[in-house]
Structure 1
Amino acid sequence: MGQQASTPQPGKQLQVIGAGLSRTGTASFSAALAHPLDGPVYHGGTQTTLGDPIEIKSWIQIIKLWCSALPEEKETKSALAMMKERLDGYVAVTDAPGAQFTPELLSLYPDAIVICTVRDPIAWDKSMGQTAGLATMWFLSFVLLPLPGMRHFTTYIKALTAQWLRVYGKDWPSIELYHQHIAWLKKVVPEDRLVFFDVKDGWEPLCRALRKDVPDIPFPRVNDSAAIERVAQYHVRRGLLQWAVAIGAVAIGAGCVFWVGRV
């Protein structure tokens, strides 16, 4: 999160499923993948918070359909069709909610490789706790209401919570859940298709897994914590500004009515 939303390129095919949990370096990973794969990467956090409103609204619908159905039911098939449409034109998908849809994405893209970004579980738990707290602040639904896409943010967070409950049986980050996610991936992804990668290791292991040449540029380093905070501040400022404009317009209108009534 924290970068600009990516734009799909017609003809590009999904080659990598990023199965790492949020806050495991997914922003750096996404920025890096774009170079050896030569195409746009769909980073879930960035696309849903900085992309067109259809991004966040589509994923809410996809998750709701998926959570309400059994694997062979038409609702699940509809969710998969919507997912494929949303990812058309991208070379990779990373971050939530894609990471929790790894089996479904493998069914859609059988030739893709699954790469799970990892980090120290204790540091991850602390980082996720901070992010979860930020995403559930009580005033968000009110502040974000004037913004076309972000007015759905609290609904989106609830959808992600439901998705976690179905996948892990838990709805809050913990060290136990981190290890559970790794074990789950090893169960649902064939061993020869699953790669674990720490962004601290840079280009070499990543390009080896991708069977691509190492780019002649520094490996991208995106500070996830700072980026998330910037995005949050950006949307809160936008929401407050819209409320100020609306309240100001109402005040002016009321003042005009008052003075007209006195004339």
Structure 2
Amino acid sequence: MGAQPSSPKPDTTIQVIGAGLPRTGTASFSLALNILLDAPVYHGGTQATLGPPSHIQAWIDLLSRWPPHSPSDTRTIQTHLQNRLDGYAAVTDSPCNGLIPELLTLFPNAMVICTTRDPDAWVKSMATVSNAATLWFLRFVLFWLPGMRHFPAYIDVLRKQWIVLYGQPEPATREHWDRHMAYLKRTVPEDRLVFFDVKDGWEPLCKVLGRDVPGVEFPRINDGKAIEELTMKFIVKGLVRWGAVLLTAGVGVASVVYART
């Protein structure tokens, strides 16, 4: 997860579709693409949680209609994707890593790059994401935060997407990983699909994109730590808002009682 949401740049279109699962270095990959393409990159987790509320609401509506059951659903899904990704050079992370056919329809010239890592290490690291995202009290705590009040509903539709693609959403298993790889090989032409481990640094990525190696170090972002810190930040912020609301309500009740007595 990146530190800040990115803003669209006029006359910019998707060149790279990031197909890697969460916890495969998608934040580092996003920043690397931002440097190489010199254009904004849409990292799904960052934009949904730190971007304008309209982003997370749009993803909820899109995923609630996916997979499409009517031409109307298909049109709505395409419209949301176009609106959200207009002005970006690449998209990474969930939910777009599970919308590859839809994205290839809209961006037929884009390269699909799947970030990878050791599958067993991925299974262990996904437990952190699941624990942070499924805390039972989030729906209550986040209620007063304009964008994040929708976060529990967003997690629900992400679960639905995972069930359709891979089976039960959690806990993440090696079977989820294998099914995602099979999904990509089934839906992406072989000459358009590239697998990339962020540990390998600039050279293989630059070779695929036909870019020179930048004169800066390859970005290294600890996704797990960022998720934990962001979760705690929102919990604290939500509790502070609840404290203010309850204090205001208490003062109001006290004023009414005092006025009557």
Which one of the candidate residues 141, 144, 147 is aligned to 2:145?
147
Q: Is the 8 A contact 1:161 1:171 kept in 2?
A: yes
User: Structure 2, unaligned stretches of length 5 or more?
Assistant: none
Which one of the candidate residues 64, 79, 83 is aligned to 1:81?
79
Which residue in the other structure is 1:19 paired with?
A: 19
CA apart distance, 1:8: 0.4
Output the CA distance in 2 between the equivalents of 1:68 and 1:111.
24
1:235 aligns with 2:234: yes
Which residue in the other structure is 2:119 paired with?
A: 121
Query: Which has the higher mean CA deviation after the structures are superposed, 139-148 or 125-134?
Result: 125-134
Secondary structure (helix, strand or coil) at the match of 1:159 reads: helix
Output the CA distance in 2 between the equivalents of 1:158 and 1:140.
12
CA apart distance, 1:82: 1.2
User: Following TM superposition, where does structure 1 have runs of at least 4 consecutive aligned residues deviating by more than 6 angstroms?
Assistant: none
Aligned residues: 260
CA gap 1:105/1:216 in 2 versus in 1, 3 angstroms: same
1:203 aligns with 2:202: yes
Kindly provide the amino acid, as one letter, of the partner of residue 130 in structure 2. A
CA apart distance, 1:237: 1.2
CA apart distance, 1:68: 4.8
Which residue in the other structure is 1:54 paired with?
A: 54
Output the CA distance in 2 between the equivalents of 1:222 and 1:233.
18
1:245 aligns with 2:244: yes
Which residue in the other structure is 1:42 paired with?
A: 42
Which residue in the other structure is 1:29 paired with?
A: 29
Q: Could you say what the CA RMSD is over the residues aligned between the two structures, in angstroms?
A: 1.0
TM-score (norm 2): 0.97
Q: Is the 8 A contact 1:2 1:231 kept in 2?
A: no
Q: Is the 8 A contact 2:196 2:204 kept in 1?
A: yes
Which residue in the other structure is 1:222 paired with?
A: 221
Q: Is the 8 A contact 1:197 1:206 kept in 2?
A: yes
Output the CA distance in 2 between the equivalents of 1:196 and 1:170.
25
TM-score (norm 1): 0.96
Q: Is the 8 A contact 2:114 2:194 kept in 1?
A: yes
1:198-227, Cα deviation, whole Å (9 max, x unpaired): 000000001111111111111000000110
CA apart distance, 1:170: 3.1
